[in-house]
């Protein structure tokens, strides 16, 4: 029987109820019944995560709804308590002298994840975790409150995209002026919010025995197979191999358009004739996507049909809806949900195929034993999403205006390459911020501007005062809500573009490997999943060079 999203309802937990539930797990361990304890532990974690995911989704769907806000506040207060219960039980399991038995029961990778998890929590930081969540929700609500007027229309931040890609340069400038006027108006508030988040995180790290937040941040991301040194080398590779190509692309665009200077409001207009638009509105794209996924073979089409028939999509932009796009899931019942904000640009296609990749992976790995394996760590999860963006290329004519599929593919490729320098800049910025948590707001802005000039030397903000002084980073929600979660996109893109290279000569083979990778879920760490898919690690010298060489050939930049 089909699962319908509208029928989803999970019991609202209480602090006492959670203590009792996890207490039953401990009682089973006391009685020497480890297998039964592990099964109940997994069940209780799935139940809480399903409720918390639904609460977070409802808040994102309407950030002004009082009940959604109240439920989100409850989740923010309960989650640190759940973490405390989970960590205590993981410690208990890891302290068991029968380590081989535990490994046999849950797997080597899960044990390694748990060994990392227990270093990220102590009851002393419970209040700090709740404060961190509250501040993140405050940032989300603030950005969702934006009402901007451009070309006689009032839109939210997501609704600016069509104007930012207009063929009319004055309209593009007006759109960016409206965006940055909002951030300038709320600049003091945004500075204070982030300063508080940095202090809260630094305080948690010090309480747990770390010198700075960085090692704690990596552990909270469950990065068990690489560290800051490997990431720094990858950033250097982007600087060496990708930045020169993107700089040449930007200069070529300036010459083609006969601009005296390329301004920041020109960067979103990748195609001189106008960025290709979707084939139609929300309903057209949702319908045509079914044909696209059916043609791609395997069970991708069947899965998408379950998503649409069950109502597991929310893609329309609305005034009080949170910005951005994401995929969430409800592990108690094995179905994911896609959230996005369609705005009539090619971004609708990109975000849809991207989140569909996350959803497909989560569905394919839904039967893996243990909640810890249902999702990979973030950088590996982003391979699944970004790779599907490229693997839909042969069928993308269904989703784009008639006759513009080739132009769409070119725009997508250039956009992907251009993202890499920005993505590593976001990561580098966070490393510097958490290395110096006592920086003033002005010093943070100066740090961003310095790094922006290193990784994106072409960027010229003209008369846009807020980003020109270094405030561009405040529009990147990950920096506020998910510290160190951004290099993941660049590492994954390096892998996804290898799927692109493979699909150019063997589309069916690339799809088969992709499906197998999705089925593996989070059963291995990032580098293990990369190796299982036959991909070169982003940390290996030359990986980016090969991708850039092919991109130069395709774009005829040599």
* Tens digits of residue pLDDT in 306-318: 999 999 999 999 9
Spatial distance between the Cα atoms of 201 and 131, rounded to a whole number of angstroms: 10
- Structure-token pair, residue 521: 């879920």
Query: Do the beta carbons of residue 326 and residue 339 sit within 8 Å?
Result: yes
pLDDT value of residue 27 = 98
Query: Do the beta carbons of residue 200 and residue 481 sit within 8 Å?
Result: no
Enclosing H/E stretch for 153: strand 153-155
pLDDT value of residue 323 = 87
Query: What's the farthest any 2 CA atoms get from each other in the chain?
Result: 77
Instruction: Tally the C-alpha atoms within 13 A of residue 287's C-alpha that lie toward its C-beta.
Output: 6
- For the chain, helix, strand, coil in percent to 5 are 70, 5, 30
Work out the angle at residue 448's Cα, subtended by the Cα atoms of residues 445 and 451, and round it to the nearest 5 degrees: 150
Cβ-in-10-Å burial (0-12, 13-18, 19+) of 178 comes to buried
* Tens digits of residue pLDDT in 447-459: 999 999 999 999 9
> Phi and psi of 64, rounded to 5°?
-100, -5
Query: Do the beta carbons of residue 253 and residue 272 sit within 8 Å?
Result: yes
Spatial distance between the Cα atoms of 324 and 227, rounded to a whole number of angstroms: 28
Q: How far is CA 257 from CA 16, 162, 165, in A?
A: 65, 19, 14
Evaluate whether residue 286 is within a structural domain: no
pLDDT value of residue 1 = 55
Query: Do the beta carbons of residue 169 and residue 265 sit within 8 Å?
Result: yes
Evaluate whether residue 207 is within a structural domain: no
Evaluate whether residue 271 is within a structural domain: no
Evaluate whether residue 284 is within a structural domain: no
Spatial distance between the Cα atoms of 461 and 537, rounded to a whole number of angstroms: 35
- Structure-token pair, residue 148: 């901007």
- Range list of H helices, 62-185: 66-94, 99-106, 108-117, 126-144, 161-164, 169-185
Give the residue among 117, 114, 223, 247 at the shortest CA–CA distance from 539: 223
pLDDT value of residue 542 = 87
pTM assigned to the model: 0.93
- Non-local CB neighbours of 1 within 8 Å, separated by 6+ positions: none
Spatial distance between the Cα atoms of 395 and 114, rounded to a whole number of angstroms: 41
> What is the SS3 string spanning 400-417?
ECCCCHHHHHHHHHHHHH
pLDDT value of residue 313 = 98
pLDDT value of residue 208 = 97
Spatial distance between the Cα atoms of 246 and 423, rounded to a whole number of angstroms: 13
Q: How far is CA 163 from CA 149, 168, 302, in A?
A: 11, 9, 36
Query: Do the beta carbons of residue 373 and residue 519 sit within 8 Å?
Result: no
- Range list of H helices, 145-281: 161-164, 169-185, 187-207, 213-220, 228-237, 243-257
Spatial distance between the Cα atoms of 202 and 216, rounded to a whole number of angstroms: 9
Structural domain of residue 17, as residue ranges? 5-121
pLDDT value of residue 558 = 56
pLDDT value of residue 555 = 94
- Range list of H helices, 437-557: 441-455, 465-468, 477-481, 487-503, 507-520, 526-532, 543-554
Distance of CA 5 to the CA centre of its chain: 23
Identify the three-state secondary structure at position 126.
helix
Spatial distance between the Cα atoms of 164 and 345, rounded to a whole number of angstroms: 10
Evaluate whether residue 116 is within a structural domain: yes
Evaluate whether residue 162 is within a structural domain: no
Q: How many domains, the chain? A: 1
- Which residue numbers in the chain have pLDDT < 50? none
Instruction: Tally the C-alpha atoms within 13 A of residue 264's C-alpha that lie toward its C-beta.
Output: 22
- Structure-token pair, residue 383: 């391979």
* Tens digits of residue pLDDT in 126-169: 999 999 999 999 999 999 999 999 999 999 998 999 999 999 99
- Non-local CB neighbours of 260 within 8 Å, separated by 6+ positions: none
What would the DSSP string read from start to end of 315-350?
EE--TTSPSS-EEEEETTTTEEEEEEEE-SSTHHHH
The number of beta carbons lying within 10 Å of the beta carbon of residue 104 is: 10
The number of beta carbons lying within 10 Å of the beta carbon of residue 272 is: 12
pLDDT value of residue 255 = 95
Own/partner long-range contacts of 11-14 (Cβ < 8 Å, ≥24 apart): 11/47, 11/51, 12/51, 12/71, 12/74, 13/47, 13/48, 13/51, 13/78
The number of beta carbons lying within 10 Å of the beta carbon of residue 216 is: 26
Query: Do the beta carbons of residue 118 and residue 92 sit within 8 Å?
Result: no
pLDDT value of residue 13 = 98
Evaluate whether residue 395 is within a structural domain: no
- Structure-token pair, residue 95: 């302290």
Evaluate whether residue 417 is within a structural domain: no
- Structure-token pair, residue 441: 């707001």
């Amino acid at each position: 029987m089909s699962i319908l999203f509208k029928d989803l309802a999970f019991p609202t937990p209480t602090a006492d109820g959670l203590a009792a539930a996890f207490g039953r797990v401990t009682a089973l361990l006391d009685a020497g019944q480890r297998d039964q304890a592990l099964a109940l532990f997994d069940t209780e974690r799935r139940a809480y995560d399903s409720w918390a995911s639904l609460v977070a989704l409802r808040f994102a769907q309407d950030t002004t709804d009082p009940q959604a806000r109240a439920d989100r506040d409850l989740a923010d207060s309960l989650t640190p308590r759940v973490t405390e219960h989970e960590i205590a039980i993981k410690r208990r399991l890891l302290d068991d002298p029968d380590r081989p038995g535990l490994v046999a029961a849950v797997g080597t990778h899960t044990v390694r994840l748990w060994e990392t998890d227990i270093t990220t929590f102590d009851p002393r930081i419970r209040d700090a975790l709740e404060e961190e969540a509250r501040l993140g929700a405050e940032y989300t609500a603030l950005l969702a409150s934006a009402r901007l007027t451009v070309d006689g229309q009032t839109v939210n931040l997501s609704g600016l995209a069509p104007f930012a890609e207009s063929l009319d340069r004055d309209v593009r400038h007006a759109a960016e002026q409206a965006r940055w006027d909002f951030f300038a108006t709320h600049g003091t508030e945004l500075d204070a919010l982030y300063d508080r988040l940095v202090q809260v995180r630094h305080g948690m790290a010090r309480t747990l025995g770390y010198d700075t937040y960085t090692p704690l941040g990596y552990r909270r991301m469950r990065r068990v197979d690489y560290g800051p040194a490997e990431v720094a080398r990858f950033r250097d590779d982007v600087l060496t191999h990708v930045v020169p190509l993107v700089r040449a692309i930007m200069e070529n665009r300036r010459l083609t358009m006969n601009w005296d200077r390329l301004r920041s409001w020109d960067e979103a207009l990748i195609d001189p004739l106008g960025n290709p638009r979707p084939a139609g509105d929300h309903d057209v794209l949702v319908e045509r996507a079914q044909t696209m996924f059916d043609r791609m073979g395997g069970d991708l089409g069947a899965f998408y049909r379950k998503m649409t028939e069950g109502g597991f999509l929310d893609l329309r932009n609305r005034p009080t809806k949170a910005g951005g796009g994401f995929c969430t899931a409800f592990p108690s019942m094995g179905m994911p949900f896609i959230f996005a904000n369609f705005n009539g640009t090619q971004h609708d296609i990109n975000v849809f195929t991207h989140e569909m990749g996350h959803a497909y992976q989560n569905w394919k790995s839904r039967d893996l034993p243990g909640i810890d394996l249902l999702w990979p760590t973030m950088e590996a999860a982003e391979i699944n999403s970004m790779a599907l963006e490229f693997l839909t290329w042969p069928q993308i004519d269904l989703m784009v205006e008639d006759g513009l599929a080739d132009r769409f593919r070119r725009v997508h490729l250039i956009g992907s390459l251009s993202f890499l320098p920005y993505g590593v800049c976001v990561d580098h910025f966070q490393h510097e911020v958490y290395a110096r948590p006592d920086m003033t707001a002005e010093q943070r802005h100066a740090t961003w501007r310095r790094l922006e000039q290193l990784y994106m030397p072409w960027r010229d903000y003209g008369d846009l005062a807020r980003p020109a002084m270094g405030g561009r980073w405040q529009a990147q929600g990950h920096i506020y809500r998910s510290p160190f979660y951004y290099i993941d996109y660049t590492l994954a893109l390096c892998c996804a573009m290898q799927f692109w290279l493979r699909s150019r000569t063997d589309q069916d083979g690339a799809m088969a490997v992709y499906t197998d990778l999705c089925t593996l879920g989070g059963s291995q760490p990032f580098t293990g999943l990369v190796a299982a898919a036959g991909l070169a690690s982003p940390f290996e010298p030359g990986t980016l060079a090969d991708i850039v060489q092919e991109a130069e050939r395709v774009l005829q930049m040599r």
